[in-house]
């Protein structure tokens, strides 16, 4: 996931595992629109990831260490 740019709901769903994890602010069935249609914080809840805005770019980071 590091270094991957996420610009659409479809790309975020791929990172999170499936479309069911997305929490929509409004949804008209289009997965290639901008992320403005997604409630990012709620979509990431429970995923072990957080999002922050840095210079107008959304950075999604892992918050939990994975144990091998």
Q: Which of 42, 20, 46 is nearest to 31 (CA)?
A: 20
- How confident is the model over 14-31, as a mean pLDDT? 85
What are the residues facing 24 on neighbouring strands?
38
Task: Report the pLDDT averaged over residues 24-37.
Answer: 79
List the one residue out of 33, 15, 12 whose CA is nearest residue 23.
Answer: 12
Overall average pLDDT of the 22-34 stretch: 80
39-68 per-position pLDDT tens digit: 988 998 888 888 877 777 777 887 756 544
User: DSSP character for 61?
Assistant: E
pTM listed for this prediction: 0.70
Report the alpha-carbon distance of residue 60 to residue 47 in Å, rounded. 11
* Contacts of 53 by beta carbon, 8 Å cutoff, 6+ apart: 59
Q: Where are the domains of the chain?
A: 9-62
């Amino acid at each position: 996931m590091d270094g991957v740019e996420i610009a659409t709901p479809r790309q975020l769903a791929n990172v999170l595992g499936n479309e069911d994890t997305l929490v929509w602010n409004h949804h008209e069935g289009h997965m290639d629109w901008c992320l403005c249609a997604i409630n990012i914080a709620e979509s990431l809840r429970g995923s072990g990831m957080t999002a922050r805005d840095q210079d107008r770019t959304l950075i999604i980071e892992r918050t939990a260490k994975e144990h091998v």
